[in-house]
Amino acid sequence: MAAMDDCLFCRIVAGDVPGEIVHTTERTVAFRDINGQAPLHVLVVPRDHYANAAELATGDPETSAELVRSAHAVAAADGYDDYRLVFNTGAGAGQRVFHTHLHVIAGRELSWPPG
Gap between the Cα atoms of 9 and 80, Å rounded = 25
Q: Which of 41, 49, 99, 101 is catalytic?
A: 101
**pLDDT tens digits for range 42-58:** 999 999 999 999 999 99
Q: Which domain holds residue 35?
A: 8-106
If one counts the domains in the chain, the total is: 1
Gap between the Cα atoms of 9 and 83, Å rounded = 23
23 is catalytic: no
Q: Quote the pLDDT of residue 114.
A: 79
CATH number at residue 15: 3.30.428.10
pTM over 0.85: yes
Residue 113 lies in a domain: no
- Nearest one of 33, 44, 108, 31 to 72, comparing CA atoms: 44
Residue 94 lies in a domain: yes
Query: Strands, E, within 14-62: which ranges?
Result: 21-24, 28-32, 40-46
Residue 23 lies in a domain: yes
